Structure 1
């Protein structure tokens, strides 16, 4: 098994910010990150303390979104720096991690 160090990054936004498409395009095309996933939250509380939730009766258009990506530490660090310069992001976290892949 091959193991290599990576940095795992999570970017928290809301649907109502209307930045998802630009954010994904930026990470994919301009930064060329190794992997990227977007998840829609069912419920979340932002920095403003407001609850953002969905229900069958009230489908919110301002649900939380989590954009996750990973890459080698130096490349991920450059991507984070560029993200913060380009977008108005309040919540970006990064963690050291290991990527595991089968040999051969």
Structure 2
């Protein structure tokens, strides 16, 4: 299994849609088991421009993190599709061991 994490900004687009929405669609279309999109409240990247939300500042480019855990081959194919999007971001992935925990029936 691979764990994939993608760091990008809320305002990044691929064509006419936000990159994070495009990546979720790709995950669905490629049959990945699931994807989670997390919206940050503060962060900065390589350019050291701080993005944050507070009372006086409403950033229109908050940090977004996308996480996917799936089979190595599916993750590698997804990465090839993500490379086609033109955005400033960071994609990291690594091998993981997984343990699925299920709620017991009463």
TM bucket by the smaller chain? Answer: 0.7 to 0.9
Which runs of at least 4 in structure 1 moved beyond 2 Å after TM superposition? none
User: Tell me, which stretches of 5 or more residues in structure 2 are unaligned?
Assistant: 13-17
Q: Which blocks of at least 5 consecutive residues in structure 1 are unaligned?
A: 1-5
Alpha-carbon distance change, 102 to 20 in structure 1, aligned in 2, over 3 angstroms: closer
The whole-number CA distance in structure 1 between the counterparts of 2:101 and 2:37 is: 25
1:87 aligns with 2:85: yes
Deviations 1:21-47 (A, max 9, x none): 222112212x22112100011111112
What secondary structure is seen at the aligned counterpart in 2 of 1:87? coil
Residues of 1 paired with 2:25 and 2:2: CA distance? 20
Report the number of matched residues. 96
- 1:41, 1:49 → 2: CA distance? 16
Structure in which a larger fraction of residues adopt helix: 1
RMSD: 1.7
Q: Deviations over 1:37-94 (max 9, x none)?
A: 000111111121211111122221110000111111122112112211x212430000
Please report how far the alpha carbon of residue 102 of structure 1 lies from its aligned counterpart in structure 2 after TM superposition: 5.3
